[in-house]
Amino acid sequence: MASVLGRLEERERAARKRVEELQVELEAAQSEWDEWLIARRRVGEVWDGGETAGQDGEPARTPEASEAAAPSAARPGSVVPLWREGLSAEVLAPEYQQVMSLLAERRTTGGLPLNCREITCLLGLEVVPAKIEGVRCKLKRLAARGWAHEPVPGRFVCGGRGGGS
């Protein structure tokens, strides 16, 4: 008869394996989503650069193209634009600004890169798996778009030049 601890370990290993599989699946889905966002942005750039005029004689513009061309006001749930020289963290949604502020503060004090659990705690969120994963998704998105870097898997630092607020 298997011991209780043995059964618990088996279930823990199975759960960990499932989490790892889901993380791989999530990363693949996020990568695909990022590609679609880039494609939409590129089409918007081409659309804005075209000679097609609207009814008033002005160049025709879609809302998506306008947002991609010049992000100005941050709003909750907005898309994280690709970082480029001269772009400040103020274009990010408030929750992303908070994360970038923490990373920028850590950079100025010369501290070590932060992990998702530490950032979750510093944001004043309850340190539970759901909140940690939400922070991880934000950090991965910021890293994918150049706002942050992941020098060591699971640890993040401020990216770009002056990427903080």
Does the pLDDT at position 58 exceed 80?
no
SS3 call for 27: helix
Distance CA 116, CA 155 (A): 7
**Which distant-in-sequence residues (6+ apart) come within 8 Å of 105 by Cβ?**
164
pLDDT band at 76 (very low <50, low <70, confident <90, very high): low
Does the pLDDT at position 165 exceed 90?
no
pLDDT band at 11 (very low <50, low <70, confident <90, very high): very high
pLDDT band at 75 (very low <50, low <70, confident <90, very high): low
| Whole-model pTM over 0.85 | no
Distance CA 165, CA 162 (A): 8
Say if residues 146 and 85 touch (Cβ distance below 8 Å): no
**Which distant-in-sequence residues (6+ apart) come within 8 Å of 122 by Cβ?**
102, 114
Distance CA 96, CA 139 (A): 8
Distance CA 119, CA 95 (A): 12
